[in-house]
Amino acid sequence: MKFETQERLAANLKRLRTSKGISQAQLAEKLEIDRSLYALYESGRRIPDPELLYEIARLFGIRMEILLDADPENVAAEASCSKVCDNSDLHILSIYRHLSPFSKGILMEKAETLETWDKLRKDQQNAFCQTSKK
């Protein structure tokens, strides 16, 4: 890997992690590696193997190539649109990415219906709690 690419990767790893307010120790724990090793990746003194880069991208819900992007604005934009994912989020995202555009539309309609239903149910529970306190 070229030195400037290695520096870019290091900066993007740090930018992504700090944008989510996660410490190196927290991220290293999620990746099941030592914090000092992760610190070497962010400093550019070591390069993560491809499997770890994939895991980092998957964990943050971003495309892998964004880790090597030269434009900090692109990294910031991608980071702001993502969140640290748990396994169920990643599973749903994986399924969604393999759907046809038509199926994605149907899924979004169903998801919006479920979101509305959850909100109504929560509002009803809150209203019930308020009346029972009186």
Under the banding of pLDDT at 50, 70 and 90, the label for residue 2 is: confident
- Ramachandran region of residue 61, left (φ > 0), alpha (ψ -120 to 50) or beta? left
Which tokens in the block code for residue 70?
């030269």
Which tokens in the block code for residue 6?
């290695």
- The whole model's pTM is what? 0.60
What is the C-alpha to C-alpha distance for residues 35 and 119, in angstroms, rounded to an integer? 40
The pLDDT, as a whole number, for residue 80 is: 73
Q: DSSP letter at 66?
A: G
What is the C-alpha to C-alpha distance for residues 12 and 7, in angstroms, rounded to an integer? 9
> Which run of H or E residues covers position 39?
helix 35-43
The pLDDT, as a whole number, for residue 86 is: 61
Under the banding of pLDDT at 50, 70 and 90, the label for residue 83 is: low
